[in-house]
Chains A and B, each alone.
Chain A
Amino acid sequence: MSNALVTVPKTAKKGEIIEIRTLVSHNMETGYRRTERGVPIPRDIVRTFSCTYNGVEIFSAELRPAISANPYISFYTVATETGMIAFHWKGDNGFSVSSSAHITVT
């Protein structure tokens, strides 16, 4: 649905280094905040992010409470072949979001 936004170029030349930008919708509750009454609000964050290119993992990240809400991660990869670049976010309380983008490499 609309809980992940990924920016991947639609086409690229083989060997070209491309930039990938990702955004996922998540509050990233740190676990350090308290309610008005002083009750601690439990930690609830995205824990891992991984990117695969035609099934091979090319990048991954480990997120901590220090990452701002609606985590933004951008990185680079080499355009090796046409196919699917897939993204997966996993976090507390069963949080699991996937997204993908097709790239044509010539």
Chain B
Amino acid sequence: MRAFRIAAWLLVASTHAWAQPPATDTPLAERRSGYEQMKRETRAMQDDDTSNPATFWVLEGESAWKRKTGAANRACSECHGDAAVSMKGVAARYPAHDAKSGRVINLEQRINACRIERQQAKPLAYESRELLALTTYVARQSRGLPIAVAPDQKTRPHLDAGRATYHRKIGQIDLSCAQCHDQHAGRHLAGNPIPQAHPTGYPIYRLEWQGVGSLQRRLRNCMSGLRAEPYEYGSQELVDLEYYLMWRARGMQVETPAVRP
């Protein structure tokens, strides 16, 4: 009888969501952008470029794109020309594999790598106004395009690491990303709707920050919210998680720069 009870419990436990990470993710038709859960007024902020404060960052990014910098005294535009042409589709497939370092890197790291190698300039600090401006400007050129992060044999380990992080319970609150954003998306946490958490519009203008910030900043906020020590900016853990999240959102439209609560 006792053996039967143990077996029954094991059966229930193994089918419970937290027993192992699910092998499948949300089908494309069921993926929802956080945009849909926002109030009409907040959506209006995003819909109109002249009402979206993130436009200031886009304009500053455009200026930075054309500005000569570094010991090489070279502007982004000198190699890349018109960003609307050369950068179209780039943000939609980042994070991506970087041959030089052999790792998956995000867009911010790609921009800094260019600064160091091609402009002989110092890398811009994470969350600095100028790096956010450049990243927002570059990502803006992919607006409306479907997210197209495509893992291959080289990048598979990064995707798996990101997926593992997504399903790992962390912090004093002891919850995983999946528990809120897969299991309870659409419900509410302390008055705020829980999104599916697809990073379709980064860098975003977050109403809470009253400014533009990166996906990594938002992820670190989530970790603080769970009373966990956030991973450092630029850490491989965060980049791999970004990679997994973008893959999980593949096929959804880029909204950069989005407005979010």
Contacts and interface: CB of A to CB of B under 8 A. Distances in A.
Q: Do chains A and B touch in the complex (CB under 8 A)?
A: yes
Interface of A: 2-3, 5-7, 21, 23, 25, 27-28, 68-70, 72
Contacts of B48: 21
Interface of B: 48, 50-51, 53, 55-56, 59-60, 63, 210-211
B50 A25 contact: no
Contacts of B50: 5-7, 21, 23
Nearest to A70: B53
Contacts of A28: 210
Give me the 3 closest cross-chain CB pairs, A-B, nearest first. Answer: A2-B59, A69-B210, A70-B53
The binding surface of chain A is classed by DSSP as loop
A23 B51 contact: yes
B49 to A, nearest CB: 8
A21 B51 contact: yes
Contacts of A72: 51, 53
B210 A70 contact: yes
Contacts of B59: 2
A99 to B, nearest CB: 12
Contacts of A21: 48, 50-51
Nearest to B62: A2
